Amino acid sequence: MRNVAGLNYKLNLSLSQCIPRRYLVEMEVEMEVFVVKENKKIIFDGYAYTVHHNLVSSLRWKCSNKISKKCPGILVTSKNYKNPTIEVEHSHAGDANLETVEKAKAEMLKRVSTFSTSTPSQIFAEVINQVPEQALTSFANEETTKRMLRRKKNKGNPKKPSCLSDLTINNEWAMYKDERFLIFDNGPESNERIIIFSLDEGLVHLSEADTWFCDGNFKLCPEFFMQLYVIRVKKYDKFITPIFCLLQNKTRSTYEEMFTAIFNKCSENNFYPDPKIMNMDFEQAVIQAAKSVFGEHLLIQGCFYHLCQSTHRKLQELGLQNKYNHDNVFSHYCSMIDGLAFLPVEKVIEGMKYLKSICAPDNTDILDYFYNTYVTGTHRKVGVLKFRRIKPLYPPE
| Pair (294, 204) in one structural domain | yes
Residue 164 within any structural domain of the chain: no
Task: Tell me whether residue 75 is in a domain.
Answer: yes
Which domain covers residue 33, as residue numbers?
Answer: 4-88
In this structure, the answer to whether residues 298 and 309 fall within a common structural domain is no
The answer to whether position 244 is within a domain reads: yes
Whether 226 is covered by a domain: the verdict is yes
**Do 324 and 288 fall into the same domain?**
no
Same domain, 223 and 202: yes
Interatomic CA distance for residues 387 and 385, integer angstroms: 7
In a domain, 161, yes or no: no
CA proximity to 216, closest of 132, 303, 97: 303
Q: Residue 89: CB partners within 8 Å, gap ≥ 6? A: 21, 72, 73
CA distance 299 to 190: 31
CA 140 to chain centre: 28
Task: Tell me which of 255, 278, 302 is where a domain ends.
Answer: 302
321 plus 339 within the same structural domain: yes
The number of distinct structural domains making up the chain is 4
Q: Are residues 382 and 355 in the same domain?
A: yes
- Do 298 and 176 share a domain, yes or no? yes
d(Cα 77, Cα 62) in Å, to the nearest integer? 11
19 and 52 co-located in one domain:
yes
* Per-residue model confidence as pLDDT tens for the chain (397 residues): 334 333 333 333 333 444 444 444 444 444 567 887 766 888 999 999 999 999 999 999 999 999 999 999 999 999 988 889 999 999 999 999 998 998 898 899 888 887 667 888 999 999 999 999 888 888 878 898 899 888 888 887 778 889 999 998 988 889 988 899 999 999 999 999 999 999 999 999 999 999 999 999 998 899 999 999 999 999 988 999 999 999 999 999 999 999 999 999 999 999 999 999 999 887 889 999 999 999 989 988 877 877 888 888 888 999 989 999 999 999 998 899 888 888 888 888 888 888 888 888 888 888 888 888 877 666 555 455 555 566 666 666 6
| Alpha-carbon Rg for the chain in angstroms | 34
187 lies in the same domain as 292: yes
